[in-house]
Structure 1
Amino acid sequence: MSTGEPGPPGLSVDDGIRTMLLLMPRMVGAAKKLKVPAALRSFDLAPRHLSLLAYLLFDGPTGVNALAERLEVAPTTVSLMVGDLSRQGILERGEDPADRRRTIVSIAEGHRRAIHDWLAQSAGAWRTALEPLTPEQRRLVVDTLTVYEREVTADRRN
């Protein structure tokens, strides 16, 4: 039953797809242009390192297996990345006092500020985009982007 008042603004599926196909390359291009802080420019950091560093910055020191689970890669892959970044002095590895067989990884104190500044560029933009939304709307955005990422990479996994 219509009240004569317009409904909430929305997009058809096709209009949403069209909009996202135009928006996503611009978003990716903008993200690629984020300036790496001068203190980190001499290191060969790739996007996979950014994800690893983000987890360590937000969650604090973490075990290799937990990082592998969060990054959705094999523990050996994380071990290789951690080894590389440790040799460069970006990360530190230490023993877990509760379980000496377990390695805990953390950001080296001398690089923490530069990594924070690098991630803050993108985090600030996401904060501006997500803060006005309700928790349910934020969950919808994150879930939607997660499904998109899963579907767009499905061909590479098969």
Structure 2
Amino acid sequence: MPRMVGRVKRLGVPAELRDFSLAPRHLSLFSYLLFDGPLSVNELAARLEIAPATVSLMIGDLSRQGILRRDPDPTDRRRTIVSIDPAHRPAIDSWLARGARAWRRALSPLTPAERALVIRTFQAYEDGLDASD
């Protein structure tokens, strides 16, 4: 597990994004927006398991740089919907595609039951990290 996490952290930031001071912590945020589509700040905070204020600061910084967009929710103008700016979507997609392909290759030969076991194992590992000793 540490070796795998280390490899992910070493994924190089695409040349088109190098001037933006991006870090591995942005990968999860970009992953949710890329794979799940535009989300509200609160939805992102819940998925990232960090405070909405922290997510809001990160989104504010990335939107000032033009990487993310913040638009009013058309159904509720009080909410803000966050998305990847179309100009940067291809670079972010290519940055994350290698990991997505690796997971697809690793999981595709497994049966649905075996895939479920992998997911449960990761969840048990995560739960074990949260458990107090």
The normalised TM-score by structure 1 is 0.78
Moved over 4 A (4+): none
Q: Deviations over 1:81-137 (max 9, x none)?
A: 110111111100000010000000000011000000000011111111011112222
> 1:45 aligned to 2:22?
yes
Q: Secondary structure at the match of 2:19?
A: coil
Q: 1:153 deviation in Å?
A: 4.9
Q: 1:78 deviation in Å?
A: 1.1
> 1:25 aligned to 2:9?
no
Q: 2:35 aligns with which of 52, 58, 66?
A: 58
Map of 1:75 onto structure 2: 52
Map of 2:80 onto structure 1: 103
Point out where structure 1 has 5 or more consecutive residues left out of the alignment: 1-23
> 1:92 aligned to 2:69?
yes
Q: 1:120 aligns with which of 93, 97, 103?
A: 97
Map of 1:13 onto structure 2: none
> 1:36 aligned to 2:17?
no
Letter in 1 for 2:40: G
Count of aligned residue pairs for this structure pair: 133
Q: 1:28 deviation in Å?
A: 2.0
Map of 2:108 onto structure 1: 131
TM-align CA RMSD: 1.6
Maintained 8 Å contact 2:72/2:80: yes
Greater radius of gyration (CA): 1
Query: Mean Cα displacement is larger for which, 118-127 or 139-148?
Result: 139-148
The normalised TM-score by structure 2 is 0.91
Q: Deviations over 1:19-57 (max 9, x none)?
A: xxxxx2321222222221111111222222110110000
